[in-house]
Amino acid sequence: MSNVQLYLAIGVPMLFNALLCAILIAYINAKFDGVNAKFDGVKGQFDGVKTQFDGINKRFDDMRDLWRAELRRVEEVLDARLKHLEHKERS
């Protein structure tokens, strides 16, 4: 067996194994990219839900402000009536 035959007997299987490993790594990388793309889609859906909840939170804040304003107005009316009654009682 000559040196060339020895080099080919050792080198060709090593190159073939390296090629198979490279193909396997590229396949696994593609699978991971597919899974990441699915998770990005799910993340986009959660962002949409978060946007909807932000809108609901804003509505609750607006309603709370409205109730505070209405209660303040009722309190002012009651204060005015109480002062009117106190004024009548004194007279």
Whole-prediction pTM value?
A: 0.48
Rounded distance between C-alpha atoms, residue 4 and residue 9, angstroms: 8
Instruction: Give pLDDT tens digits for 40-49.
Output: 887 777 888 8
**Given CA atoms 56, 59, 65, 71 in this order, what sign does their dihedral have?**
negative
Token duo for residue 70 = 């209405």
Token duo for residue 80 = 């005015």
* Degrees, nearest 5: CA angle 74-69-83: 30
Given this model, what pLDDT does residue 21 score? 98
- Would you place residue 51 in the very low, low, confident or very high pLDDT band (cuts 50, 70, 90)? confident
